[in-house]
Structure 1
Amino acid sequence: MTVGAQVKQTLSSLKGVQSTLQTFALNSEAPEAKRVFHEAMMITEEVISDLKRRVSELEREEPEYHGF
């Protein structure tokens, strides 16, 4: 598996984690739990954003990674 494919797979996995954290935040009854899940979801969003930028860089620098 290429580096580009691994980064994209990681990005996809993180999107799933973010979705799960959002579900936990919405379904939790305890305010503290809601807050913690929401904060974790927001941190995950930052990581996702960073990885998206990295994928763009990989695709621009290494044409063979484009479209994976």
Structure 2
Amino acid sequence: MTVGSQVKQCLASLKSIEANLNSLALKTEEKEASQIFHETCLKTRKVIQQMEARVGEIEFEEPQYKGF
């Protein structure tokens, strides 16, 4: 597995984690827990944005990784 595909796989995992955190934030009845899930979801979103930027850099530097 190439570095490019590993980064993209990591990005997909982060997006799944974000979705799960968001779901937990909405479903949890305890206010404090819901708030923690929401805050963690927002932090995960920032990491996702950084990873997406890195994927863009990888695809620019190595065009063969584009679209995988």
Q: TM-score range by the shorter chain?
A: over 0.9
Residue type of the alignment partner of 1:46: K
Residue type of the alignment partner of 1:62: E
The equivalent residue for 1:57 is 57
Q: Which runs of 5+ in 2 are unaligned?
A: none
Let me know the Cα RMSD of the aligned residues.
0.6
Taking every aligned residue pair, what percent have the same amino acid on both sides? 50
What is the deviation of 1:66?
Answer: 1.4
Q: How does 1:31-50 map to 2 (within 5 A)?
A: 31-50=31-50
CA distance in 1, matches of 2:26, 2:66: 36
The alignment partner of 2:60 has SS state of helix
Task: Count how many residue pairs are aligned between Structure 1 and Structure 2.
Answer: 68
Q: Which runs of 5+ in 1 are unaligned?
A: none
**TM-score normalised by structure 1 residue count:** 0.96
Name segments (4+ residues, structure 1) moved above 6 Å: none
The alignment partner of 2:24 has SS state of helix
